[in-house]
Amino acid sequence: MTTADAKRVDTILKGREGASGELIEALQDIQDAFKYLPEEALRSVSEKMAVPLIEVFRVANYYKAFTLQPRGRHLLTVCMGTACHVRGAPRFLDEVLGQLDIKPGETTEDGDFTVETVNCLGACALGPVVVLDGKYHDHMTAGKLRALIQGTLSKKAKKTGDR
């Protein structure tokens, strides 16, 4: 962790010294800032907020919203709920995993994509649903999904090309 990162953590923890009740809020803020929970950040959370490290570690592990591994630039969430499942979500999940060569919950080597599965997004009428960086994409098919991923990747290529 660089000093700049440490400073960001300090800013997040400012005013929360000793306030153990705000642990989850602090972790959420760190997760937002870094897209994951770095070990050093958790250590300083424990120190500043007077919460035992094991407690911080336990909470960070317990909630699915927190992750201890760095995530990719794009987060792809595939709904595996019953409605999406019967409409073929497992098939195109295999498709996308094969394309990116990863397993659910993993990040591609170049750090572009993280694929996660979720048990239900509550948008069953739109199923099968895929969420890419917070945007819902309904009635997914393998072809549409491939186009979506390629589109995201080409956008990135364009950006780097512009530079």
Partner 1 sequence: MSEYVTLTINGAKVRAPRGTSVLDAALDYGICIPHLCHMQGVIPTGVCRLCIVEVIEKGRSKVTTSCTLEAEEGMVILAHTDKILKARKNIAEMLVAEAPNSRAIQDIALKCGVKDVRYPFRNKDCVLCGRCVRACTEIWRSRSLGFVGRGEQRHVALPFDERPEFCKRCNACIDLCPMTITPCDGPMKKGEEYFCGKCESQLSMSEDFVDSCVWCRLGEGFDVTGRHAGRKQEDKR
- Contacting positions for partner 1 (CB under 8 A): 39, 42, 52-58, 61-62
Residues 6+ apart with CB under 8 A from 7: none
Nearer to partner 1, 14 or 64 (CB): 64
Closest approach of Cβ 46 to partner 1, in Å?
Answer: 8
Nearer to partner 1, 43 or 146 (CB): 43
Closest approach of Cβ 53 to partner 1, in Å?
Answer: 4
Closest approach of Cβ 111 to partner 1, in Å?
Answer: 22
SS3 content of the chain, % helix, strand, coil (to 5): 55, 10, 35
Nearer to partner 1, 19 or 57 (CB): 57
The counts of H helices and E strands in the chain are 7, 4
Q: How many CA atoms lie within 13 A of 115 on its CB side?
A: 21
**Strand intervals (E) in the chain:** 74-79, 113-118, 130-132, 135-137
Closest approach of Cβ 113 to partner 1, in Å?
Answer: 24
Count other C-beta atoms under 10 Å from residue 28's C-beta. 16
Nearer to partner 1, 53 or 86 (CB): 53
